[in-house]
Amino acid sequence: MTSALETLLGYAQDPQRFNYTAAELRDLQVQALNERFQDRKDKIRLLRHRAEEAGIEEITSVEDMVPLLFPHTAYKSYPESFLMEEKWDRLTKWLGTVSPYPIEGVDLEGITDIDDWIARLAAKGYYISCSSGTTGKSAMLIASQKDMDWSKIDTVQVFSWGSGVKPEANRYMVGCAPVATVPKNQTIAEAQKAAFSHPELGRWNYPVPPITVGSLTKMVVMRKKMADGTASPQEIADFEATSADRQKVLDDAIELTAQHIIENRDKLLMVSGLWSGLYAVAKAVRDKGYSAKDFNPDNCIYVGGGLKRAQLPADYKEFVHETFNIRPEQDFQNYSMQELNSGMPKCREGNRYHVPPWIVPMILDKEGDALVPYDVNGGEIEGRAAFFDLSLDGRWGGVISGDRISLDYSPCACGNKGPSVRDNIARYADLEGDDKIGCAGTIDAYVRGVA
Amino acid sequence: MTEIIQKLDANAEPIVSAPFFLRGELVEGNDIVQKSRDLGVTFATPNIPYDKAIPKRTEVPPLLNVPVSEIIDFLVETGQRLVAPDNEYVHECFDRMASTHILPRSVFETVGKHAVAYLDKRILEAEVEQSFRDPGALDGWVPKEDFTGRKSFVRAYAPRLIHVLPGNSPGVAVKSIAQGALVKAVNLFKMSSADPFYTVAILRTMAQIDPEHPIVKSMSAVYWRGGDAAVENVLYRPQYFDKIVAWGGGDAINNVIKYLGPGFQLVSFDPKTSISMVGREALASEEIMEETASRCAADLMMLNQEACAASRYQFVEGPQDLVDKWCAKFQRNIAERAAASGDVRPLSGDLRDEVEALMMMDDEYGTWGKADGKGLVIRSEEPVDFHPINKIGNVVRVDSLDDAVKYVNVATQTIGFYPSERMADYRDRLGAGGAQRVCPLGEAGPSTVGNPWDGMYPLHRFVNWMVNEDGMGE
């Protein structure tokens, strides 16, 4: 007999996978959640702790899952000193508290830096990806080979579904934003290249030095040294100079990419990136006198995420589309996050992000403590987005996000009957001002710069 | 986050009203619906009547020529009225505050009343006498003659102050009003969203004593959301105010900095972290362990660890097995005080995650208690990354207190020290690290009357020093 989990994951191959209503999927999803829970509850220490605290021994409803969801911060809760002092054995041990598989066989001798540590783990099948490393500790998300394999298929499927572009390996791919060099991103890039890129054309990578985890964590380490008072003035001066150099490289990359796109404007293009990068490159292209009329009418675009705090003019989307001659129906956007292993593509008719059967969406109150009342038979609700990605193998699939979303259980205008997310996703952190004043505080208030 | 919704809906849920006080006049109104930062509770305020709130510079400050002794007498009487059982303003205030403050009523009410102890004749006199070489400079023009025979008069002139009050301690309102009065200032108090009530209650009590008193005419209290440019662009001007007195860090200060310039200065009470340094003498016996654990818990539990002087990190000198024994006693003492305070706030999600991660690594971190906001101690070899708050002690074991000195930094305010006899050996190094205060363990709360705070004599920093040169006195 096929388990509920296997059934739901099997939908990945189903062209109608977004057409199953939440109501018809619900029982299957609850069973699958329980399968994952029973399998993992004694393997992930943090999960076991949460389950014991909440008194949960079985998942009989989606509500049972709420206290077991992991927020982003669960993956950045390792002590900073492990990074500062390069305690790779301890960092590996911490990683074991959020991993369902014992981390074994990794050679921890002679590790030169965190990138080396990550490479050693990857060599043994433990893939570490990071996010949000610019203002604090990086969240370290562990994934398995199974997750990498799943991601390869999913990334092509969501793009093809949402844009109508078939994986015919006939395009020239142009990256318009820096991409962190982490296993997941590399896996996705390889899969997309194999599916969409013309073998003779390859892919244009945004011309900046690799953004490795090490380069991200350098900032964390510098910030901590400043707070501790152990950073020397020369170290700070060197760091500032490096930051200035880095900014120049980023600025140059925009010009180089714009020029490169112009030189290849006769080709069938697939441009990708985040809105801020795409807009900057598009503006540079316009400034050189080129626009839609110069580009192939069958070009397509791949955008990951929303604005991500970028400040752009109101017409930024139209501006980008009309620069590269992207037809409205070949516009593509995806809603996902580093914590998930699957994407939610935006459809063309309804302009909404569709949730696949193996992702169980949950809308929580702002505090993330309880489900907002909902009806799987229809209706829209708004609140903090939480998901359980049943496809996740190398870590727990339950996540609480920092996003405010509107989820609708009614059919979308495109005809698909599965749940979908409105295109008004916002980060709670961006919605709130700060009126909290207190005299108790920390050394962080005394550290200027190092953003 | 404060959402400003104009035109209050008559059918909306009952909303707590937070009136303003403008130089003797109570202004009620529900023009703006605001939201408290900590609890997200809505309260309503009037629009700010700017012309009423900001006296003209062409008017001599009302208190300028009122003797300090008379001001002190008025403040003392205010204190007596504030703690009187029949003070309706205070009762009403605490009723309303219960819905906006993060601490339970029993805690902030006790703190609010305890803060009134500051309104004591001897305390206030000591503050003035220790802040000024010649306190007479507050009341008049003090004559001087230099060694060349040149004469002049110097005055500590009444300033025009905006006070941005912190939300974590209602007692600051009492002290800020008193200090503003002692320096004869024209004062505008920006109340916090956690407590948009107590300042007005104090001022209404004053108005009841004498509605025409110059102190009453020198005080206004209003609320706006911190960072609201529509308000701050109007108020934060040297034409209207000399100095802004602000607490905290981050946005609270960043909001202000952009307005600073010639004639408009910042006096900041910086965000502070306090610690304890516990020598090996504390581990010498069960009795001493119990006593020092209790004292340290008292320091940690100041305002349930919301105060800047509350201990966050405790550097304990000794072997791990004895330190762990001490930790267990420390946690029990914290938990007992927490239970007695009635404060049952859970840990925030982020904080709980950090704590639980350390609990998962139990061969490196000792933990006593649960991540439930009822008292927790974490023992580590280095300070934890997060800021211990909501009744969490981070005991850092050290072989020698010398090893703890490096953790003192510019954010360190108070260091509770045991044994007291060793303080003198350490205070120069502690000052070099950036600490501002060292005291016996268990005494982070009380302080010697009139002493500097946050590295300064605030009253001296508030006034504007004015000179009347009088020539060579021919």
Confidence of residue B307 (pLDDT cuts 50, 70, 90): confident
Nearest to A441 among B172, B272, B385 (CB): B272
| Cα gap B463→B181, rounded to integer Å | 11
Region B278-294 average pLDDT: 98
Confidence of residue B243 (pLDDT cuts 50, 70, 90): very high
In tens, the pLDDT along B405-448 reads 999 999 999 999 999 999 999 999 999 999 999 999 999 998 89
- pLDDT at A447 (0 to 100): 60
Beta strands (DSSP E) in A61-134 are: 70-71, 127-131
Do the Cβ atoms of A295 and A269 come closer than 8 Å? yes
Interface contact A79, partner B, CB < 8 A = yes
- Say whether A441 and B411 touch across the interface (CB within 8 A): yes
| Cα gap A200→B198, rounded to integer Å | 74
- Say whether B361 and A81 touch across the interface (CB within 8 A): no
The residue of chain B nearest to residue A226, with distances taken between CA atoms, is: B409
- Say whether A49 and B359 touch across the interface (CB within 8 A): yes
The residue of chain A nearest to residue B306, with distances taken between CA atoms, is: A440
Do the Cβ atoms of A303 and A267 come closer than 8 Å? no
In tens, the pLDDT along B107-143 reads 888 888 888 999 999 999 999 999 999 999 999 999 9
Report the gap between the CA of A27 and the closest CA in chain B (Å).
30
In tens, the pLDDT along B130-139 reads 999 999 999 9
Nearest to B353 among A71, A367, A437 (CB): A71
Q: Is the pLDDT of residue B8 over 70?
A: no
Interface contact A54, partner B, CB < 8 A = no
Name chain B contacts of A90, Cβ cutoff 8 Å.
Answer: 361, 364
Name chain A contacts of B40, Cβ cutoff 8 Å.
Answer: 366
| Cα gap B178→B184, rounded to integer Å | 10
Interface contact A52, partner B, CB < 8 A = no
The full length of chain A comes to 451
In tens, the pLDDT along A398-415 reads 999 989 999 999 999 999
Do the Cβ atoms of A162 and A334 come closer than 8 Å? yes
In tens, the pLDDT along B378-409 reads 999 999 989 999 999 999 999 999 999 999 99
Q: Phi, psi at residue A346, to the nearest 5°?
A: -90, 135
- pLDDT at A432 (0 to 100): 64
| Cα gap B232→B235, rounded to integer Å | 5
Beta-bridge partners for A140: A130
Q: Which of A77, A82, A435 to mutate to test the interface with B (most CBs of B within 10 A)?
A: A435
- Say whether A435 and B227 touch across the interface (CB within 8 A): yes
Q: Is the pLDDT of residue B10 over 60?
A: no
Interface of A with B in 399-438 (CB under 8 A): 400, 431-438
Do the Cβ atoms of B330 and B441 come closer than 8 Å? no
Interface contact A263, partner B, CB < 8 A = no
- Say whether A434 and B249 touch across the interface (CB within 8 A): no
Q: Is the pLDDT of residue B4 over 50?
A: no
Interface of B with A in 61-90 (CB under 8 A): none
- pLDDT at A448 (0 to 100): 59
In tens, the pLDDT along B314-346 reads 999 999 999 999 999 999 999 999 999 988 889
| Cα gap A49→A396, rounded to integer Å | 13
Name chain B contacts of A427, Cβ cutoff 8 Å.
Answer: none
Interface contact A97, partner B, CB < 8 A = yes
- pLDDT at A229 (0 to 100): 82
Q: Is the pLDDT of residue B350 over 90?
A: no
The residue of chain A nearest to residue B170, with distances taken between CA atoms, is: A438
Region B169-190 average pLDDT: 94
* Residue type at B370 in one-letter notation: K
Interface contact B270, partner A, CB < 8 A = yes
Nearest to A77 among B246, B354, B434 (CB): B354
Tell me the CA distances in angstroms from B334 to B269, B337, B374, one per residue in order: 27, 5, 8
Residue B140: partners with Cβ closer than 8 Å, 6 or more residues away: B65, B155
- pLDDT at B177 (0 to 100): 97
Name chain A contacts of B169, Cβ cutoff 8 Å.
Answer: 439
In tens, the pLDDT along A174-232 reads 999 888 788 888 898 899 999 999 999 989 999 988 888 887 778 778 888 888 888 88
- Say whether A438 and B168 touch across the interface (CB within 8 A): yes
Q: Is the pLDDT of residue B256 over 50?
A: yes
| Cα gap B194→B431, rounded to integer Å | 34
Kindly state the percentage of chain B with pLDDT values over 70. 97
Nearest to A437 among B226, B410, B411 (CB): B226
- pLDDT at A446 (0 to 100): 63
In which order are the strands placed within the sheet that holds B311-317? B366-368, B376-380, B392-398, B311-317, B273-278, B412-418, B437-440
- pLDDT at A443 (0 to 100): 58
Interface contact B199, partner A, CB < 8 A = no
In tens, the pLDDT along B190-199 reads 998 888 899 9
- Say whether A90 and B354 touch across the interface (CB within 8 A): no
| Cα gap A320→B224, rounded to integer Å | 40
For each of chain A's 451 residues, which pLDDT tens digit applies? 689 999 999 999 999 999 999 999 999 999 999 999 999 999 999 999 999 989 999 999 999 999 999 988 888 888 888 888 889 999 999 999 999 999 999 999 999 989 999 999 999 999 998 765 445 677 899 999 999 999 999 999 999 999 999 999 999 999 998 887 888 888 988 999 999 999 999 899 999 888 888 877 787 788 888 888 888 889 889 888 888 888 888 889 999 999 999 999 999 999 998 888 999 999 999 999 999 999 999 999 998 766 666 788 999 999 999 999 999 888 888 898 888 999 999 998 999 999 999 999 999 998 888 999 999 998 999 999 999 999 999 999 999 998 999 999 999 999 999 999 999 998 887 776 444 455 555 556 566 554 3
The residue of chain A nearest to residue B407, with distances taken between CA atoms, is: A228
* Residue type at A241 in one-letter notation: A
Nearest to B166 among A45, A49, A438 (CB): A438
Interface of B with A in 383-402 (CB under 8 A): 384-385, 387, 389
